[in-house]
Structure 1
């Protein structure tokens, strides 16, 4: 036991005289209570540390449903292959729709949208496979097309660089990557997937128009049409049909993401 006469005053408000006349038994009790308080404070600090650790773990567990799926390397290769096949196939398949419900009196009719599923395939790859798979699939698509394989809409080969539509094909690389990037920033929701597709779609057209402008400056588009006529033909006129395809892709991507990752 410590020397009771040497015990420090527990409170500065107590005078030296009051502390000197305090009975030893009371001093001993005060010392014992101070030790208990210190032990309790240490226990509280340990509990606070443990509580913070449990709180952090709980936050991680609760936040897992809000984290987007991370695409693994095998999945990247798989989706890049699927995206390449979809892009090649979509190049030669025309998009169709049915007539509006208010005109069903004469029966439902199938009508063409005037565009192919090519852009839809590019964006769908980004929504499902992510940025890396989408980027890889389109790089391979462009390389194969320039290597004399007739997988572009008008054939293939290095001479395709002079085609006014090549800028849009080049835009697939940037548009697919951006679409895949934004598609996996959060959980799959229709609005986020639609926005991702829209971003990729706009980038594809901006790249195509930029390429048209450069081609017009260098070759005057081979004298076939003016720059404005080319923009009308390749960006403005196909716009309604392509927007319809983008909307369909957003919905399909939502359903497939929910089935695959939920």
Structure 2
């Protein structure tokens, strides 16, 4: 689980390595969403949702598994909706991933649907936070929060989705299911 906190990076293109060496560039996201989607792609809807429920319970009972620690107070943070979105996101991803034989296209589609679900839940939670004026809502507008938590992270998360798709495709074929 600790590996999901690693920041996602990409390298320069291989044909540039001779001139400039191997350079890495941060995607600005962690592998957390990748872990959510990979569990859905490999374990299916029930395993995906149960794994995320266990993750949330661990984090809410003071185990420092969230990016800013843990505890019940996390519920009042604006970004908690994205963590809640992990449950339906993993479920949707697992449901769609097992509807057809594992192909890159179907796995990528299931991951994109899961990612969309996570962001939808997160944005709804953000809106609720602004309606009820939770902590942190006075510092920025709702649109700024949506841009910060969803829009700016999306390009990096789409690259992580591509990596998860390839890994899930290979593992599903190795495990014969």
Q: TM-score with structure 1 length normalisation?
A: 0.64
> In 1, distance between residues paired with 2:6 and 2:94?
23
C-alpha deviation, 1:162, in angstroms = 1.2
Q: 2:99 aligns with which of 185, 188, 199?
A: 185
Deviations 1:175-227 (A, max 9, x none): 00000011011111000000000000000001001100000110154412211
SS of 1:223's equivalent in the other structure is coil
Pick one of 224, 235, 244 that aligns with 2:150.
235
Residue segments in structure 2 that go unaligned for 5+ positions in a row: none
2:139 — aligned with what?
224
- State the secondary structure of the residue aligned to 2:8: strand
Q: Give SS of 1:114's match.
A: strand
1:100 Cα deviation after fit: 3.5
Deviations 1:110-160 (A, max 9, x none): 121111000000000000011111010000111111111111111111110
Give the alignment partner of residue 170 of structure 2, picking from 235, 255, 259: 255
Residues 177 and 223 (structure 1 numbering): CA distance in 2 closer, same or farther, change over 3 Å?
same
TM-score, normalization by structure 2: 0.94
Q: Counting helix residues as a fraction of each chain, which structure ranks higher?
A: 1
Runs of 4+, deviation exceeding 2 Å: 100-105
Question: Residue 59 of structure 2 aligns with which residue?
Answer: 145
Q: Deviations over 1:202-258 (max 9, x none)?
A: 000010011000001101544122111111111011111110000000000000000
Describe the SS at the equivalent of 2:28: strand
Structure 1 residue runs of 5 or longer lacking an equivalent are: 1-84
Matches within 5 A, 1:1-262: 85=1, 88-90=2-4, 92-101=5-14, 103-104=16-17, 105-219=19-133, 221-261=136-176
Secondary structure of the residue aligned to 1:167 is helix
Secondary structure of 2:132's match? helix
Aligned residues: 175
The CA distance in 2 between the partners of 1:167 and 1:127, in whole Å, is: 22
Larger-gyration structure (1/2): 1
d(CA) in 2 for partners of 1:184, 1:201: 17
Look up the SS of the partner of 1:96 in the other structure: strand
